[in-house]
């Protein structure tokens, strides 16, 4: 008998968006040089290699997010202990909505995400840094 999924990814993303801050790519462009903000790229490393990244952004693979945020985790990254605003992004805004919701549930604050993701960033004319 095939699996009967009762809650799809679109429903999860829509629910997450109800409780988190979503900013536009244009708003993110004004924050990229703000020292009180950390832009967190949660895309897969292959996406970064293929498409580049927002200059100065911090890469945290989505699968490691909770482990890197939690100070009790052996994988904790000090960047998440800083008193800054964390703005998450993925390619199109779905993974980052879920990541932002989880980070917020864990107590990381303040947090937001770029609703249109990296694709919106590029469309808005944001700079892109390609890997060497």
**Full pLDDT tens readout for the chain, 132 residues:** 899 999 999 999 999 999 999 999 999 999 999 999 999 999 999 999 999 999 999 999 999 999 999 999 999 999 999 999 999 999 999 999 999 999 999 999 999 999 999 999 999 999 999 988
Q: Which residue has the tokens 């609703």?
A: 115
Q: Is 107 left (phi over 0), alpha (psi -120 to 50) or beta?
A: left
Q: What is the DSSP letter of 80?
A: G
Inside any domain, residue 3:
no
Nearest to 116 by CA among 78, 81, 77, 87: 87
CATH number at residue 28: 3.40.250.10
CB count within 10 Å of CB 23 equals 16
Q: How many folded domains does the chain comprise?
A: 1
Q: What are phi and psi of 105, to 5 degrees?
A: -60, -35
């Amino acid at each position: 008998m095939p699996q009967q999924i009762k809650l799809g990814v679109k429903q999860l993303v829509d629910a997450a968006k109800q409780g988190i801050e979503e900013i536009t790519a244009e708003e993110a462009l004004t924050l990229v040089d703000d020292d009180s903000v950390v832009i967190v790229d949660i895309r897969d490393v292959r996406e970064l290699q293929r498409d580049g990244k927002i200059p100065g952004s911090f890469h945290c693979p989505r699968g490691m997010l909770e482990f890197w945020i939690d100070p009790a985790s052996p994988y904790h990254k000090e960047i998440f202990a800083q008193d800054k605003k964390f703005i998450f992004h993925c390619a199109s805004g779905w993974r980052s909505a879920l990541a932002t919701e989880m980070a917020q549930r864990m107590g990381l604050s303040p947090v937001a995400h770029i609703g249109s993701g990296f694709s919106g960033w590029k469309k808005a004319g944001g700079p892109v840094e390609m890997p060497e």
